[in-house]
Amino acid sequence: MPLIPPQLLRDPQPQHFDRLRERVAYARYRYNLNLAALVALVAEEERRAELLRRKRRWWLMNELRRESPADFKSFLRVEPDLFLELVQRVGPRIEKSKKGRPPLQPGLKLAITLRFLATGNSFRSLEFSFRVAHNTISIFIPVVCQAIVDEYRQKVFKTPSTPDEWRRVAQVFQDRWNFPHVCGAVDGKHVATRKPAHSGSTYYTYKGYYSIVILVLADGEYKALWADVGSQGSDSDCGIFNRSGLLRSLITGTIGFPPPEPLPNDDRDSGFFLLGDNAFPLREFMLKPFSKRYLNREEMVCNYRLSRARRVVENLFGIMAKRFRCLLTTLDVEPERAMTISNACITLHNLLRARYGLAPREADEEDDQNQLMPGAWRTDAVMREVEDQARAPRANAAGQALRSTFKAYFNSDAGSVPWQLPILGFQ
């Protein structure tokens, strides 16, 4: 039936126009009603499709966890049971209100964050992998990292504060690395970031990139006891150490080291101290190797024993970077967020070390002849070294006396080990 009957056009009368207007209005009403129903139907289909995609993303993670735990660990760098624990403990910290649009599930946020830490992939790449907008990912990754730090830091990343706690750390160095009275080894590495706005050259290194610095104190089991994260990339190890609270506690004695005690098989008291490389000052609380020029046999033995024990901090960085490869990439975030991400990597590293130990050949080992067998991390890319100052800080008398004491001790019957001379080429 035509919208306007022909007779109305031939016989225009007022009542006919009224009926015509009613029919046009009714037709418009039906059209708008159908259009609204169609829009609502499309919106409902899109909502159902989005919910299905979210369920499917989570379903795929569950399937991977149930059917192939090894692949799950390779994908997220954590064991399936630890992932479930993280969801349970960290989930309430990152869960958003369910009013309005359904939020992302905490488990999905955690999975995306762990995948980012494991690979360092760009947010765009993660968007295509998980079907979550890249700008959303860039917002919640630092939030999840901070939640991980807040939940676990006090339990797995706590600096010793009493003499008994420091003695336990020193005992590990003595048992595993034949170096008594060592309370940790300290070193720093770069984490590359994008250039901060209006920062000039403060985060710029002479090697040509922008970065923050991680300064870590490691124990004898490759765990971090203390860390300074976020210093500008232009700083040196020594400069960061000199401004740190760790140095202040060492100088004032509030760090809690035990009082001087005799070394094994000896009757002379010696204090407890840290190990560092040539970038650090030689002090009564910091032992570093002799200069590499014109060394005699006794000094070479002392350097070998010191370097053997100090390798723990190099292994810590290597193991952590091999597991969390975002530390080897350039983080496309501001330094503040890079600091949060780095702290999360250190916390998770300590958590994994405490729960699961090390895989075979993951760290440096020694064979039956005490020759170094490089860990698996040395065959891959490693974190960037922090450049040293042009000249190391001047040693004080107490630091020189400490180094002389251990030089004599390691070359005596009381402190020597059978393999130290053959491994250096001496008979």
* Mean pLDDT, residues 153-176: 93
- Candidates 288, 174, 304, 186; CA nearest to 247 is 186
pTM reported for the whole predicted model: 0.85
Q: Which pLDDT does position 192 carry in this prediction?
A: 92
* Mean pLDDT, residues 40-53: 68
Q: Which pLDDT does position 141 carry in this prediction?
A: 96
Q: Is the dihedral of CA 17, 21, 24, 30 positive or negative?
A: negative
Lowest mean pLDDT among 18-22, 86-90, 137-141, 229-233: 18-22
Lowest mean pLDDT among 194-203, 346-355, 384-393: 384-393
CB of 325 closer than 8 Å to CB of 118 = yes
% pLDDT > 70, the chain:
90
| Residues contacting 402, CB < 8 A, separation 6+ | 270, 271, 273, 282, 284, 287
Lowest mean pLDDT among 2-16, 110-124, 406-420: 2-16
Could you tell me the two tokens for 346? 């250190």
Q: Residue 185: helix, strand or coil by DSSP?
A: strand
Higher-pLDDT residue of 279 and 287 is 287
Q: Could you tell me where the DSSP H helices lie in 281-387?
A: 297-323, 335-356
Q: Measured between alpha carbons, how far is 231 from 335 in angstroms, rounded to an integer?
A: 9
For 341-366, how does the pLDDT look when each residue is reduced to its tens digit (9 = 90+)? 999 999 999 999 999 988 888 888 88
CB of 188 closer than 8 Å to CB of 214 = yes
Instruction: Give the residues across from 218 on adjacent strands.
Output: 185, 224
Q: Measured between alpha carbons, how far is 70 from 286 in angstroms, rounded to an integer?
A: 42
| Residues contacting 50, CB < 8 A, separation 6+ | none
Half-sphere exposure of 357 (CA within 13 A, CB side): 3
Ranked by mean pLDDT, the top range of 98-102, 380-384, 412-416 is 412-416
pLDDT bracket for residue 116 (50, 70, 90): very high
Q: Residue 67: helix, strand or coil by DSSP?
A: helix
Lowest mean pLDDT among 7-11, 69-73, 167-171, 294-298: 7-11
Could you tell me the two tokens for 350? 């300590």
Say if residue 4's pLDDT is above 90. Answer: no
Q: Measured between alpha carbons, how far is 205 from 234 in angstroms, rounded to an integer?
A: 5
H or E stretch including 107?
helix 106-119
What are the distances in angstroms from CA 89 to CA 94, 110, 149, 159, 316? 10, 11, 12, 23, 26
- Average of per-residue pLDDT values in the chain: 87
| Residues contacting 90, CB < 8 A, separation 6+ | 106, 110, 144, 147, 148, 151
pLDDT bracket for residue 8 (50, 70, 90): low
For 220-276, how does the pLDDT look when each residue is reduced to its tens digit (9 = 90+)? 999 999 999 999 988 888 889 989 999 999 999 999 999 999 999 988 889 999 999
Lowest mean pLDDT among 205-219, 297-311, 315-329, 383-397: 383-397
DSSP letters spanning 304-327: HHHHHHHHHHHHHHHHHHHH-GGG
Lowest mean pLDDT among 114-123, 199-208, 214-223, 383-392: 383-392
The residue type at 24 = V
